[in-house]
Chain A
Amino acid sequence: MAKKTIDWSPGNWPKLLFRFFTSFKLATIVLALMTVITLFGTLDQVDNGLHAAKVKYFHSFFVIHKLWGFPLLLPGGLLLMLVLFVNMTMGALIKVRKRWKGAGLLISHFGMLMLLAGGFITWAFSTDGYMALYPGMKSNRVESYRNWQLEIMPLDKDGKTEKAWILPSDELQSIRSDEQRTYQTGALPFEIVINGFSQNATPIPVSAPMAAEAEGKEIDGFKLSQQKASKEAEQNLPGCYVEFRPAEGDPIEAILWSGSFRFDPRENPMPFTFEVGDQKYGALLAKKSWTVPFEVKLDEFIFERHPGVSTARNYESRVTRFESDKPDTPLEIKMNEPMRYAGYTFFQESFGPSGSEPGDEMFSQFAVANNPADQWPLWSLVVTSIGLGIHFVIMLVTFTTRSKKAPANAAS
C-alpha cells in the first residue's frame, strides 16, 4: 500500500500541468461551478435586470456573489468557459485514446468546442443595434441599444449639417460622475471639457422641490440629477455637464441630456447650440450609431391582433432595400423570417409607439445584427448530434450484446 507521491520537480511541471488541464476532475469542477454561476446569475436578474447580471456573472473572469450577505469569490462565466475550452481541447480531443468506441464522444466534444468558440466570437466581434422606421422613412443607420456618444456638429441656420465630430461611447461612458476630462481636435476651435458623466440622469428645473437635493451646478435654470441605474439598461438616460473652451472668450457651459435625442423615430434631435467665431455648433448626446452598406425603406407595416384581445398575432414589415448600382429589392421582414444580407441580419423586433391600435400610424423596429459566427451554433448542433447519435448506437450495441451474453454466462 505505497502512497502515491507527486514529483514536483520543475522538469515534471509540463506533465503535471498537462495532467491538470486534461483531467476529468477539472471538467467536473468547472461544470459544477458553471451551474452555480448560472443559478446565481439567473436569480440576480430579478433584482438587477438582465443586462447587469449578464455582464457581472457571465462576461467576467471573477464575480463576487453575496450569499445571504456573505461575500463569495467565484470564477466568472468567461473564465470558466475558457478553462472548459482548454480542458475539452486537451482532454477530449488530444489526450483521449483514439479508438472506434470513442469516436462518437470525440465528435460531440468537437461540436461543443465549436459552440464555445462561436459564443466567444459572437461576444467579441458581433454588433447589434436597431433601426426604427415609420412607413415612408428610409435609413442606413443602425443605433445602439445602450451606448451613447457625444456628437458635435457645425450647423447652418436651418439646423442642417453633413458631418459631426464624435467622442466615442467607450470613452464617454467611462467617465465617472465626479471626473473631469478634456478633449481637443485640430478641426474644432475649442476644447471640450466633460465635467462628470452620469449613466442615468434627469435634468430638473431649480424651481422644482426636488432640485434642492440634487447636486451639481445650475445652468440655464436646470440641474442634472443623478438617478439610480435602471434594471433595464436600455432605459437609462445618461447626461453630463460639458464646457466648450474657445481659445479666446468665455467658456460656454451646458447640460447635455440624452432625452434630447429622440423618443420616436420621426423626431429630430435637439442639440445644445452655441457659437464660436461665426460658426454655429450643436452638441448632443446621441445613441452610438453605425451604417450598413445599403438603405432600407419601410413601405408598409402590418399589425394584427387576435380578435377581441390585445395579444399580437402577427406583425410584419414590407420594405425595399436600396443599394447603389443594384436594382431595388422589395421584400418582407416578419417574425421568424428575417432579412439576411451583406453580413447583416434584420429581424422584426418590435413596433411602436406602444398603445397604438390597428389602423394607427405605427413604426416598425428591426434588430440589426452582424455576427461572424452567426451559423456556428447550427453546425455545432449538427456535429454534436451526430457525435452523440453515433455514441448511443455504439452503447446500445454494446449493451444488447452484453445482456445477451450475460444469461448465457449465467447458464454456463
Chain B
Amino acid sequence: MKFLYTLLIATALFATESLSARELPKSDLDSYEPWDEEVAHTFESLLLQDGGRVKPIYTYARFTLMQFSGKTQAKFQSKDGVDHKLHYAEWLLDVLFRGEVAKDIPTFVVDDSAAVVQIGVSPNEKKRSVYSYNDLVSGRARLAELAGEYAEKQRKYEQSERRDKQYELGRVEGMILTLGQNVSSFEYLIGQFGFARDGQILVNENILPPALIELAAKTSPAEMLREMPMPEMSIDQLVGIIQQPASQNEEERTLQDVFRLYFFFANTSRGINLFPPQESDNEVWLSASDVMLKGLESKDARPWAAEQLQSIETLVDARNESPAAFSAALTTFAKNQHSISDPRGEGLYSELEVKLYRGKYFIYSLYCFVFAFIVMAFSWLTPGSKIGKGLLLAAGGIALFGLGLDAYGITLRSIIRQRPPITNLYDTVLFITGTAVLLGLLIELFTRKGIGTLVAIVSGVFGMFLSIKYEAKEATDTITQLVAVLDTNFWLATHVTIINIGYAAALVAAIIGIVYLVARFVMMMLGRESKDLYRSLTRMNYGVICFCLFFSLVGTVLGGIWANYSWGRFWGWDPKENGALMICLWSLVILHGRMAGWIRDLGVHMNSIILAIITTFSWWGVNNLGVGLHSYGFTEGVWGALYTSWMILGIFMAMGVIIWFSERSQRALKKQEKNANAKAATA
C-alpha cells in the first residue's frame, strides 16, 4: 500500500506545481490595457470563411494562437510588473486592431533557444521560451533565409525515394522552419487592416518607399476606388502599368504610385475572408484583398467594394475613438455579415460554436477523470470498508459526470456541423474515449468490483489528455468539411460509429488485461494469490473481447457494404480495411484459441494487449502509411508516439511472460513433489 501513498503525494505535488503561478514571460510593453469586456464580447460574433465553411472568428483566433504558441492563452508580464493572461479572442483583437501592442506580446513558442541563437537573436534564459514579434524582428531576414533553406531541404527530403536521411531536418532546423512560417503568418495578420490605418504600416514598411507611405497617410483604398479614373481593366493590364519604369509625366507618375500602393495593400490584406459575396449564388467569401481586386476589375463592383473597405476603416477609426464606439462598430459589422449569411444558411450555429469553445467541456472532462482517479485511489486505502465503497461510488459518479461533459461536447460538435459524431480523426478520440468510459461504467454496474470504474477512469484520463494534446499539436480547426465520398450521414452514423465502438472495446480489453497482469505480477512478487479476482477479470475480458468482435465485425462488413455501394468493390485490401480486419481476426484467434485449449486466463489477457497494439496500429498507424482511400488524417510524429505506446504495452507483455514461466516452474515443482509422494506411498 505504500506505493499508493507515494503515488497520491506525487499526483498532488504535480497538480499544485502546474496550478501554481509560474513566472510569466516578460514583455517590453510598459503597461497593458485590457480590452473592454463589451468589445471582446461583440468581437466574438464576427464571422469569417475559412477551411470551406463560415465560422466565428472566435474559432479562428483559437487555432491561430494555438498554432503560434501551442496554448490558448497569451500570458506575459508587462514592465509595470502586472501579469496578464489574454484569451485568444483578446489576443486576435490586439493583432488586428492594436498591432503595435501585439508586436510586443510574447506569442511564438520556441522549444530550444538554439533556434533563436541561430537567427542572431539573444535568447531568453529558459531553453523553452515564448518570444514576441519584436524580440525576433532583428533576426527576421536571417529567419526568412534559413526557413527558406530548410523548406527546400524538407521538400527534397519528401521528394527523395525512401526519404533520404541526408535531407531530414534536424530538430532545431524544424523549429526554425515552423517559426519562420508562424512569424510570416503573424505579419499577414498585422498587415490585414494596414490599409485602414492611415499610413501606419507596422510590418514590412521597408518595402514601401517613403513617398508611398506618405501617400498612404493621405488616402485609402476605398477612396482610391471611388476616384478611380479607369474603366474596367484586367489585373494583367494594371500590373503592366506598375511594371513600367517610372513615368516622366507627373500625373502618370502619381497614378502609378497610387496603383503601387493599392497593390501593396491588396497583397498584405490577404487571408481573412470577412466579406460575404454580393451575389447570392456565390459561396466564396472575400478577403479585403479580394475585395480590392474585384473593385479594380469591374466598375460595377466598385461602389460595393468601396463600401466594404470603408467598413473596415470605420472599425479602425472607432477603435481609436472609444470602447463604446468600437463595440458599436463591431456590432454593426457583425450585423451586416449576419444579414447576408443568415438567409443563406451560413454560420447558423456560430453562437453554439462559441459556446462549445468557451465551455471547455473536454478540459473539464479531463479534470473530472483526474479527480475521480484521486478519489478512487483513496478508496483503495480502505478497501471493502463502507468508506471505501462510498469513495468508489463517488469516483464512479465523477467519472460519469466527466463522460457527460464529453458527450455534451460531442453533441454540440455534431449539431454545429449537422453531422453524426465522427467525421475526422480528432472526433474518433473524443468518441472512443466516451465509449470506453461508458463500457467501463457498464462493467462496474454488472460486476461491482471497482475494476469497471478503474477502466473507465483510466480510459477517460488517457483519452481526454490525448484529445487535448492532439488538438494542440495539430492546431487547426477540428470541425472540418467532408470530401464528397464521406458526404453521407447514413454511413457515417452506422459504419464509422460502430467500428469505433469496436476500437474502444479493444482498448478496454487491453486495460483489463493490464490490470490483470499488474495485479498478478504484484501478487506474485508478494507471494500471494487472488484467484477470485483473476477469474472475474478473465470473465470480464472475455466478455469485452466478444463485444469488440461483434462491433468490429459488423462495422467492418458494413464498411465493405458501403464501399460496394459507393464505389463498387466490397473489399479492396486497403490498409484501413486491413486494420479493421486484423482486429476481427485477432479477436477470433483469442476466442478459438481458448476453445482449442491453447489460450487460458493469462493468454486471454496477454492477447488482449496484442489486440490493443493492432487497434492502435489501425487507428493511428495506417493513416500514416500514405496509401489507400482511407488515409484521411495525415499527422506527423505519430509513429514516435505509437512506438512508445507499443513499448509500454510490451513491458506488460513481458510481465505476462515472467508470470507464465514462474507458473510453469511451480507446476513442475508440484508435479515432482506429487511424484515423490506417490513413490513414497508405493514404497
B585 near A377: Cβ-Cβ < 8 Å: no
For A307, the closest partner residue in chain B by CB is B283
Query: In the bound complex, what is the Cα–Cα distance between A336 and B488 (angstroms)?
Result: 7
Task: Find residues 333-353 in chain A having any chain B CB closer than 8 Å to their own CB.
Answer: 335-336, 338, 345, 347, 349
Select one of A39, A309, A378 contacting B51, CB under 8 A: A309
Q: In the assembled complex, which residues on chain A have CB atoms less than 8 Å from the CB atom of B550? A: 388, 392
CA of A115 to CA of B584, assembled, Å: 14
Report chain A residues within 8 Å CB of B284.
307-308
Please tell me if B554 contacts chain A, counting CB pairs below 8 Å.
yes
The reply to whether B592 and A381 contact each other, CB–CB distance below 8 Å, is no
**B588 located at the interface, meaning its Cβ lies under 8 Å from any Cβ of chain A in the complex:** yes
Bound-complex Cα distance A119 to B570 (A):
8
Q: Evaluate whether A309 and B52 lie within 8 angstroms (CB atoms) in the complex, with A335-B485, A345-B568 already known.
A: yes
Residues of B contacting A41 in the complex (Cβ-Cβ under 8 angstroms): 573, 578
B567–A367 contact, CB under 8 A? Answer: yes
Q: Would you give the shortest CB distance from A303 to chain B, in whole angstroms?
A: 9
User: Does B553 make an interface contact (CB < 8 A)?
Assistant: yes
Stretch at the interface among A182-190, A191-199, A254-262, A311-319: A311-319
* B483 close to A (CB within 8 Å): yes
A374→B578 CA distance, assembly (Å): 20
Residues in chain A near residue B485, CB distance under 8 A? 335-336
* Chain A residue with Cβ nearest B593: A28
Contacts A45-B627, A315-B484, A377-B570 given; does A31 touch B575 at CB 8 Å: no
User: Contact: B53 with A31, CB < 8 Å?
Assistant: no
- Once bound together, how far apart are the Cα atoms of A46 and B565, in whole Å? 27
Q: Are A42 and B578 in contact (CB under 8 A)?
A: yes
List residues of chain A with CB within 8 A of the CB of B585: 31-32, 34-35, 38
Which A residues lie within 8 Å of B628 (CB)? Answer: 45, 50
Report the separation of the CA atoms of residues A239 and B550 in the bound assembly, to the nearest whole angstrom. 49
Q: With CB as the reference atom, state the residue of chain B lying closest to A334.
A: B484
A65 interfacial contact with B, CB 8 Å: no
A282 to B537 alpha-carbon distance, docked (Å): 74
Most central of B553, B572, B626 by chain A CB within 10 Å: B553
Q: Are B578 and A336 in contact (CB under 8 A)?
A: no
B546 CB contacts on chain A under 8 angstroms: 392, 395
**Proximity bits, A27-69, B CB within 8 Å = 1, else 0:** 1100110110011011101100110011001100000000000
CB of B573 within 8 A of CB of A369, answer no
> How far does the Cβ of B463 sit from chain A's closest Cβ, in whole Å?
25
A347 and B567 within 8 A (CB): yes
Q: Tell whether, in the assembled complex, residue A24 and residue B561 are in contact, meaning their CB atoms are under 8 Å apart.
A: no
Q: Give the total of A residues in contact with B, Cβ under 8 Å.
A: 56
Interface: B185 (CB within 8 A): no
Which residues of chain B are near A312, meaning CB under 8 Å?
A: 483-484
Chain A hits for B578, CB < 8 A? 38-39, 41-42
- Complex Cα spacing A309 to B571, Å: 31
Residue in B560, B574, B586 whose beta carbon sits within 8 Å of that of A50 in the complex? B574
- Is A128 engaged at the interface, CB distance under 8 Å to the other chain? yes
The answer to whether A347 touches B554 (Cβ under 8 A) is no
B656 at the interface (CB under 8 A from A): no
- Given A307-B49, A338-B566, A377-B560, verify A313-B588 contact (CB < 8 Å): no
**Distance between Cα atoms of A2 and B50 in the complex (Å):** 77
Tell me whether A31 and B572 are in contact (CB under 8 A): no
Inter-chain contact A314/B557, CB cutoff 8 Å: no
* Contact yes or no, A24 B596, CB < 8 A: yes
- Does the CB pair A374–B564 fall under 8 Å? yes
**Cβ-neighbour of B579 out of A42, A313, A315 (below 8 A):** A42
- Residues B568 and A313 in contact, CB atoms below 8 Å apart: no
Interface contact A28-B568, CB-CB below 8 Å:
no
Contact B625 A42 (CB under 8 A): yes
The A-contacting residues of B in range 619-645, CB under 8 angstroms, are 622, 625-628
> A392 CA to B614 CA in the complex, in Å?
25
The answer for the CA separation of A384 and B584 in the assembled complex, in Å, is 13
Complexed CA–CA distance, A380 and B571 (Å):
14
For the complex formed, measure the closest distance between the CB of B623 and the CB atoms of chain A, giving whole angstroms: 12
| B488–A31 touching, CB < 8 Å | no
Which B-chain residue is minimally distant from A340 (CB atoms)?
Answer: B565
Bound-state Cα–Cα, A367 to B483, Å = 18
Q: Is the CB of A369 within 8 A of B568?
A: yes
- Which residues from A are CB-within-8-Å of B596? 23-25, 27-28
**A28 and B571: CB pair below 8 A?**
no
Contact call B557/A313, Cβ cutoff below 8 A:
no
Query: Could you say which residues of chain B place their CB within 8 Å of the CB of A118?
Result: 570
Cβ A31 vs Cβ B557 within 8 A: no
Q: Tell whether B491 is near chain A: CB-to-CB under 8 Å.
A: yes
Additional pairs, 8, CB under 8 Å, beyond known A24-B597, A28-B592, A31-B586: A24-B595, A27-B592, A50-B574, A308-B50, A313-B484, A336-B485, A336-B491, A347-B567
Which residues of A does B touch, CB under 8 Å? 23-25, 27-28, 31-32, 34-35, 38-39, 41-43, 45-46, 49-50, 53-54, 57-58, 115, 118-119, 122, 128, 305-309, 311-315, 335-336, 338, 345, 347, 349, 367-369, 374, 377-378, 380-381, 384-385, 388, 392, 395
What are some 27 contacts across the A-B interface (CB < 8 A)? A23-B596, A24-B595, A28-B593, A31-B585, A38-B578, A38-B581, A39-B578, A49-B627, A50-B572, A54-B572, A119-B570, A119-B571, A307-B49, A307-B285, A308-B50, A308-B285, A309-B51, A313-B481, A313-B487, A314-B487, A336-B491, A347-B568, A374-B564, A377-B560, A377-B570, A380-B557, A384-B557
Q: Across chains A and B, which 4 residue pairs bring their CB atoms closest together, nearest first?
A: A306-B52, A24-B596, A307-B283, A369-B568
